[in-house]
Structure 1
Amino acid sequence: MFEQFARDTRRIVGYAMEEARGRGDKRLGTEHLLLGALHEPEPAAVLGITLDDAHNAASRLDAAALKAIGLETRNLKGVTMPTKGRKPPFSSGAKEVMANMVKQAMDQKSRQITTSNLLVALLDREEHDPVSALFEELKVDKTTVRARLR
């Protein structure tokens, strides 16, 4: 499947792996795919957000989740996974995003899976998916982004 990915889309998946490791996560999730996309200028421009904004929003969401179970994050230090070596496995949501990207490309009769396919697949995630929470925290207007992608 990855051989069908456009060069920038492959880079984004690599950045997403780095993001998952850097955040200390054992799985590559939909939120990591978004963070990976923001390493590239075109998706950042289409979404109207920066990588720094997304990192800050993800940290706020993490802190809120920990606070909800009674943990304060003020004195906690993040743990990073090794940057080399084993690739983090994809979460079920990330696998669904990949399947959606392939379906979109097939529907478009395209030979390549593009960054646009990735962004649409991320925008299609349901309310309780981590990337949807991140979009909401960043106040991304999904309708506006979809129009830009057309």
Structure 2
Amino acid sequence: MFEQFTAGARVAVDSAHEEARLRGDRRIGTEHLLLGVLDVPDSVAVPALGVDLATTRAALDVLDRAALAAIGIDVEGVERPPIPVSRKRTPFTSGARSVIKRTVTEARGAGSRRIGPDHLLLAILACERPDPAAELMAHLNVDPAAVRASVKRLSGTGGQAA
């Protein structure tokens, strides 16, 4: 399936992999895919979402710390070391696998044979709470329906990627 991804979509997935590694996570989740989409140069993601990569990373840190505090773990001053680079690819969570599969539907719905970062973003927008990307977007006050309309308007092709 990744052979159908445009260069931008591949950048998003590679960035998601790097975000997971830097955060010390052993699997790529929907939240990492969202961060990855925000890292694609000239993507419609930042103007459509109304948030940038740094703001989204900071919000994810806040959510992670709050979740740990809820179970009695104080992580103030504790930093997770990055996962060492390994030869094998980091696996996707089941939610992230579902997002990757939904990108095909988004691309086909836009009349495209190639999957771009905007299709990936549209697939992420379909995530519902308690999915990590949905929680993150809710924390950032992102309205998925408004972003979906904005992505389609900004891409000028109903969500089709170049």
Q: TM-score range by the shorter chain?
A: over 0.9
Matched, 1:107 2:109: yes
Q: Report the alpha carbon displacement of residue 84 of structure 1 after superposing the two structures with TM.
A: 5.0
1:32-47 correspondence to structure 2 within 5 Å: 32-40=32-40, 41-42=42-43, 43-47=45-49
Post-superposition shift, 1:115?
A: 1.4
RMSD: 1.3
Q: Is the 8 A contact 1:123 1:132 kept in 2?
A: yes
Aligned to 1:127, the other structure's residue is in SS state coil
- The structure 1 segments of at least 4 consecutive aligned residues displaced by more than 4 Å after TM superposition are none
Contact 1:22 1:83 in 2 (8 A): no
Q: Secondary structure at the match of 1:148?
A: helix
Q: CA deviation at 1:79?
A: 1.8
On the 8 A contact 1:9/1:115 being kept in 2, the answer is yes
TM-score (norm 1): 0.94
Query: How far apart are 1:109 and its partner, in Å?
Result: 3.6
1:3-32 deviation digits (Å, cap 9, x = unpaired): 101110011100000000000001000000
Residue number in structure 1 paired with 2:31:
31
Count how many residue pairs are aligned between Structure 1 and Structure 2.
150
Matched residue, 2:123? 121
Q: Deviations over 1:20-76 (max 9, x none)?
A: 000000100000000111112421122111111011100000000100110111131
CA-to-aligned-CA distance 1:80-115 (integer Å, 9 cap, x gap) = 112453321010000000111112223334210111
Judge conservation of contact 1:120–1:146 (CA < 8 Å) in 2. yes
- AA at the equivalent of 2:127: R
- What amino acid does structure 2 have at the position aligned with 1:122? I
The residue number in structure 2 matching 1:139 is 141
Q: How does 1:31-110 map to 2 (within 5 A)?
A: 31-40=31-40, 41-42=42-43, 43-83=45-85, 85-110=87-112
Uncovered stretches (5+) of structure 1, i.e. residues with no partner: none
* 2:16 is the alignment partner of 1:16: yes
Instruction: Provide the rounded CA distance (Å) in 1 between the counterparts of 2:105 and 2:144.
Output: 20
Q: Distance in 2 between matches of 1:20 and 1:46?
A: 23
TM normalised by structure 2 equals: 0.87
